[in-house]
Structure 1
Amino acid sequence: MTKYMLIMRGTDESMAKMMETPFEEMLETVGRFNEELIRAGVLVAAEGLDDPSQGVVVSFDGETPLVTDGPYGETKELFGGFYLLDVASKEEAVEWAKRLPGGPGTKCEIRRVPSIEEFPQDNEWIVKERAWREQTGQL
């Protein structure tokens, strides 16, 4: 099995349309999809993100990191949440993404999450990370 992250992206317009949907209806729609993922045994994690205006951006363009409020000013598509799935292939991740409850203007980016086994196993930082993952039950 391989992990894939499904990154939910929406425009200002698609987010506004979603906000018109009654909250209980939205919870039911997403909840049913989440239940399908759980029953299939592929869901590792899923989270929505808070409103972009509540976030901060740390920019590394200068000599010291600069922190500013809110999202990037020119961003037209913002990440709204993610699903982390453990599936057999990219094609299976795509099939799940096609079933996501999303409306017009919503996009889903699919990215493979490399496993720790793909890194040099004799590297001291990889050894430390493996130990941490074993200690926390993630390996």
Structure 2
Amino acid sequence: MPRFMMIVKASDESEAGVMPTREMLAEMGAYNDRLAAAGAMLAGEGLHPTSEGARVTYSDGPPVVTEGPFAGDAQGLVAGFWLIKADSMDEALEWARRIPFREGEVEVRPVFEASDFPDGS
């Protein structure tokens, strides 16, 4: 069964380290329970803000580490993710529509499988 990553885009609030309310945590817990009960959930995690992270950039020289926070639009950053199994992109999008967010953005993308590559099986 194909896998899909549902990527939660960051916001100014998530980048500031603002934690979800108890109500939102309860709603997310119930959503995760529905994913798990359907056998769709493989993983799902929230991420600390970029101020607690780093980037490693590769070029012709040695890798360069840049400590966060990262400048730019928060929405270009990632705040969390789900890795799910679904029969199709349509099914994955249906799961994404059920996320109990009131605002924000989630990007849904298929995950490469070994069979996607020429030597895959």
TM-score range, shorter chain: 0.7 to 0.9
Q: For 2:85, give the aligned amino acid.
A: D
- SS of 1:30's partner is helix
Change (3 A) 1:113 1:11: same
| Mapping 1:91-130, distance limit 5 Å | 91-104=90-103, 106-121=104-119
Query: RMSD of aligned C-alpha atoms?
Result: 2.4
Q: Retained in 2: the 8 A contact 1:48–1:82?
A: yes
**Residues matched between the structures, number:** 120
Q: 1:57-76 maps to which residues of 2 (within 5 A)?
A: 57-61=55-59, 63-76=61-74
Q: Which has the larger radius of gyration?
A: 1
**Gapped regions of structure 2 (runs ≥ 5):** none
Segments of 5+ residues of structure 1 without an aligned counterpart are: 131-139
Pick one of 18, 27, 30 that aligns with 1:29: 27
Counterpart of 1:99, as a letter, is R
For 2:11, the aligned partner's letter is T
Deviations 1:15-45 (A, max 9, x none): 38x93753x3232111000011011111111
State the TM-score, normalized to the length of structure 1. 0.75
Letter in 2 for 1:65: P
Between the aligned partners of 1:46 and 1:73, the Cα distance in structure 2 is 26
Quote the residue 2:84 is aligned against: 85
Q: Which has the higher helix share?
A: 1
What stretches of structure 1 move > 4 A for 4+ residues in a row?
Answer: none
Identity rate, percent? 35
State the partner residue of 1:46: 44
